[in-house]
Amino acid sequence: MKNFYKTQHSIIFQEDFCNWETGELLSPIETQNYTIVQVAELYYNNAFKINNHVQFCDLEITFPITNGLTCSTNDVLDKLQKHEFYLSFKGDRHSLFSRNGARFQTFAINFKNQNSIELLNKITAIFKEKNRLFMPNLSHFFTALIGEFLSVKQEFFIQRIDGLITEILVLIARMGKSVNANLTPDKNPEDFKNYIDEHFLDICSLDELSTKFGYTYGHICKTFKKAYDITLVEYFLKKKMEYSVLLLKENKPLTEIAEITGYSTPYNFSRAFKKHFGVSPKGFKFSNTNRSA
């Protein structure tokens, strides 16, 4: 069943090859290694919800193109950032929702031979409990895969789809192995702190530290909090807020400050600033000007 429609509040492309209520396959696309169950790209500018359902397929991968998407697997919530990938597996109770609107891509597949099943087993062993993966360099493979379904099917379509899926899965398995390998408690937390100090204006998601250092995000957070008595998120925010003060003193406009410090709108920046300092950016500038007079 293929749907492509646009409304005031959403743009949806979805191609389903199964009945999601029963799990019955309906003329799926078969490649050498996979049975493709679903492919979709969805955009909502308002809140939406995909209710809790049981995964019939072996693996579903969701890729948020924008912030604002929350996924739930077996009643555990994960708020995703852009460039994160979310994996759910057969038998999981799974749902998606967003309060602020979101754009995301997803595909679901079954594995059909020994080689591909071995790859699935490796991924399952790493991500069955974790579910999330920050891997920006994977996004262009994923977008290319969805693009193949959005475009007119050309010669070698099936072979290209099979190759893209395999490339994605191999990268996920390799990345997961590096993140989960050699997790020792003696890693110097100063390395994490120095990285934030140097890159806080460039970091899209703190999960980047997992990619950089080869440790799970949870391990990095625990190590950092134990060493500095402040959470990783709080320290990251502190660095951005301190820098925004310097920009305010230089009379930079709020629009520019918000962009520099990674906030989507001046309103979101102002709200974060007031929460951190107890005064709005405008109030801070006024107070600072009076002290200087």
96-118 per-position pLDDT tens digit: 888 777 788 888 899 999 989 99
Confidence of residue 55 (pLDDT cuts 50, 70, 90): confident
pLDDT of 80: 81
Confidence of residue 1 (pLDDT cuts 50, 70, 90): very low
pLDDT of 145: 81
Can you tell me which residue has the tokens 């059909």?
A: 112
What are the angstrom distances between the C-alpha of 56 and each of 18, 59, 96?
Answer: 9, 9, 16
| 14 pLDDT above the threshold of 70 | no
Regarding predicted confidence, which is higher, 155 or 240? 240
Say if residue 63 is exposed, middle or buried (CB neighbours under 10 Å; 0-12, 13-18, 19+): buried
Q: What percent of the chain has pLDDT over 90?
A: 27
Domain ranges across the chain:
2-180, 189-229, 233-292
| 218 pLDDT above the threshold of 90 | no
| 11 pLDDT above the threshold of 60 | no
Poorest-pLDDT segment among 38-52, 108-122, 158-172, 256-270: 38-52
> Alpha-carbon torsion 234, 45, 38, 167, what sign?
negative
pLDDT of 182: 43
**Does domain 2-180 fall into CATH 2.60.120.10?**
yes
pLDDT of 22: 60
Can you tell me which residue has the tokens 């990674």?
A: 262
pLDDT of 82: 73
What are the angstrom distances between the C-alpha of 238 and each of 5, 89, 225?
Answer: 43, 37, 14
Average pLDDT, the chain: 80
Q: What percent of the chain has pLDDT over 70?
A: 81
Regarding predicted confidence, which is higher, 293 or 49? 49
Q: What is the mean pLDDT of residues 232-248?
A: 93
Confidence of residue 59 (pLDDT cuts 50, 70, 90): very high
Q: Taking a C-beta distance cutoff of 8 angstroms, is the pair 40, 14 a contact?
A: yes
pLDDT of 231: 92
Q: What is the mean pLDDT of residues 228-250?
A: 93
Confidence of residue 15 (pLDDT cuts 50, 70, 90): low
Task: Round to whole Å and give the CA distance between 1 and 93.
Answer: 23
**Does domain 233-292 fall into CATH 3.40.50.620?**
no
Confidence of residue 129 (pLDDT cuts 50, 70, 90): confident
**pLDDT digits 0-9 by tens, 74-98:** 888 888 877 788 999 999 998 888 8
